[in-house]
Amino acid sequence: MSTDPQTLEETLRSLPSPASWPMPLPLTHLTKAKWFSTIITRTELEPQPDTFFEEQLLYFFYGGVFYRPAAMNMRTQIELPVAFVFAPSILSSFARYYPFDSGGMINGKFGSLTATLSSFDQLFRINGGDHSVPSRMVYHLYNTNDDYLRGKPNPDLRNKPYPLPQLFEFFSEDLSRENSDHRQCIIECQANSPVPLTRGLIWVGFPDYFTAEFLSLLKLLEPDVPQYWCYPSHAIFDPAQVAAKLEQKAFEQVIHRYIKPPGY
Q: What is the CA radius of gyration of the chain?
A: 19
Cα distance between residue 135 and residue 21, in whole Å? 6
Q: In whole numbers, what is the pLDDT of the chain averaged over residues?
A: 87
163 upstream amide cis, omega within 30 of 0: yes
- Which band of pLDDT confidence, cut at 50, 70 and 90, is reported for residue 5? low
Highest mean pLDDT among 68-77, 97-106, 230-239: 97-106
pTM of this prediction?
0.90
Taking 80 as the threshold, does the pLDDT of residue 115 lie above it?
no
Q: What residue spans of 177-222 are helical by DSSP H?
A: 211-221
Cα distance between residue 174 and residue 182, in whole Å? 9
Q: For residue 8, what are the CA distances in angstroms to 11, 116, 121, 163, 246?
A: 5, 15, 11, 6, 31
Cα distance between residue 57 and residue 141, in whole Å? 25
Cα distance between residue 22 and residue 138, in whole Å? 7
pLDDT mean over 64-83: 73
In terms of Cα–Cα distance, which of 92, 49, 122 is closest to 195?
92
